[in-house]
Structure 1
Amino acid sequence: MTEAADYLISAVLIGTGATVVMDIWTMIRQRLLGIPSLDYGLVGRWLGHLARGRLRHDRIAASPPLRGERLIGWSAHYLIGIVFAGVLLAFFGLDWARDPTIGPALLVGLGSVAAPFLVMQPAMGFGIVASRTSHPAAARLHSLVTHAVFGGGLYAGGWLTHMVLR
C-alpha cells in the first residue's frame, strides 16, 4: 500500500471511530444527565444556507429548513471527524497511527473545539464560545468534555486501525 493510501485509510478509520465514540458519549450524556445532543440537521441547514451564500444566522433554528439537511449535517459531522484525524496524522505522522499515544490524540481532540467555538456557534447564532446561549458556561463545559472524548476516540480509533491494518 502506498503511503498516501495508508494515510487516507487511516484518517477515515480513525476519524470515523472517534466520531462514533463521541456520538456514544452524547447518547450516554443524554440518558444519564438529560442533556440533549446537537441537532445535526441544524448543521446541515447552516451548511445548505452557506452553499447559497449565507454565512450567519441570528437563530439557525428559525431559518428556513432545507431538503436533506439532516443527511447533510450527519455526513458533515463524520467528514469533520475524518478531517481532524487527518490533521492528527499530518502533525504526528503515520508513525503515530502505527503506535498511537494518548497525548497527541487529546491535543487534537481538545483543539478541535475551536471549530464550534469560533466558527459554527457564531455563524448559527449562538455567539462566540456559546456566549448567546441560555447557559454559556455549561455549554462551554459540555463542548470541552465532548471534544476531549473525541480525542479519546482518536486514540481508540488509532489503536483499532493499528490492529486492523498492521
Structure 2
Amino acid sequence: MMIITGILMGLLATVLLDLWALTLSRVAGIPAPDWAMVGRWVGHLPSRVFHDSIGDAPAVASEHTLGWVFHYSVGVAYGVLLAVIMGPDWLAAPTLLPAWLFSILMLGFGWFLLQPGLGLGMAASKTPDPTKARVLGLIAHTVFGVGLWMGAMLF
C-alpha cells in the first residue's frame, strides 16, 4: 500500500507542478519547461550525459513523449521514495515540512545533473538569469512538495 500511495503522491505532485508551470506561462509569460529537450537528453544518456547545448545534439525519436514520460517517472519515483523513507506512520498523519524538505533536496538532481546535462551549467549558471532560474526552481519544488504532502493527505 505504501508504494501505491507513493505513486499517487508523485502523480498528484507532478500534475500540480505542471499546472503551476502552465499558470506561470499564461500569467507571467515565463516559458514552460521544454520536455522535448529533456527527452533528447534522456535519449542520448546511453552515450553521453553532459552537453554544451542539448539543442545542438541530434534529435531522438519521440523526444517530446520521452521527455514527458521521464518527467512523470521522476515525479512518481520521488513520491515512492518519500513514502518509503517516511514510512507508514508519516503516511497516516503527513506533515508538510518533510515533503517540502525532500522536494528541495531533490532539486539538487536538477541543478547538478539535468541542467548541466542540457548545457545550462550547474544550477543554471549558463542561463541568461541564473538567479531567476534558481528562484523559479525553488518555487517549483515547493509546489511539488506541497503536492506530495497533499497526495499523502488524500491517499
The TM-score by the shorter chain falls in which range?
A: over 0.9
**Which sections of structure 1, spanning at least 5 residues, go unmatched?**
1-5, 162-166
Report what 1:32 is aligned to.
Answer: 27
Does the 8 Å CA contact 2:50/2:118 hold for their aligned counterparts?
Answer: yes
The separation in 1 between residues aligned to 2:76 and 2:90, in whole angstroms, is 16
Q: Which residue number in structure 1 is paired with residue 132 of structure 2?
A: 138
Counterpart amino acid of residue 77 in structure 2: V
Preserved contact between residue 82 and residue 99 of structure 2 (Cα < 8 Å) = yes
Q: RMSD across aligned C-alpha pairs, in angstroms?
A: 1.0
Counterpart for residue 148 of structure 1: 142
Report the more deviating stretch, 134-143 or 82-91. 82-91
User: Does 2:65 align with 1:71?
Assistant: yes
How far off its partner does 1:87 sit? 2.0
Aligned to 1:3: none
Q: Find out whether 1:120 has 2:114 as its counterpart.
A: yes
SS of residue paired to 2:64: helix
Measured against aligned partners, the alpha-carbon deviations of 1:77-114 in whole angstroms (never above 9, x if no partner) come to 11101111122122211222222111111111111111
- With the length of structure 1 as denominator, give the TM-score of the two structures: 0.90
CA distance in 1, matches of 2:68, 2:92: 29
| Aligned mates of 1:98, 1:74 — CA distance in 2 | 31
Q: Distance in 2 between matches of 1:38 and 1:121?
A: 12
CA distance in 2, matches of 1:76, 1:16: 12
Match of 1:55, SS state, is coil
Counterpart Cα distance in 2 of 1:159 and 1:89:
12
Give the TM-score of the pair, scaled to structure 2.
0.96
The one-letter code matched in structure 1 to 2:123 is V
The answer as to whether partners of 2:3 and 2:84 remain within 8 angstroms in 1 is no
- Structure 2 residue 134 is matched with structure 1 residue 159: no
Structure 1 residue 159 displacement after superposition: 1.4
Q: Counterparts of 1:78 and 1:68 in 2: how far apart (Å)? A: 16
Percent identity between the two aligned chains: 38
1:90 partner letter: V
Q: Give the structure 1 partner of residue 89 of structure 2.
A: 95
> 2:26 aligned with 1:23, yes or no?
no
- Distance in structure 1 (CA, Å) of the matches to 2:144 and 2:13: 5
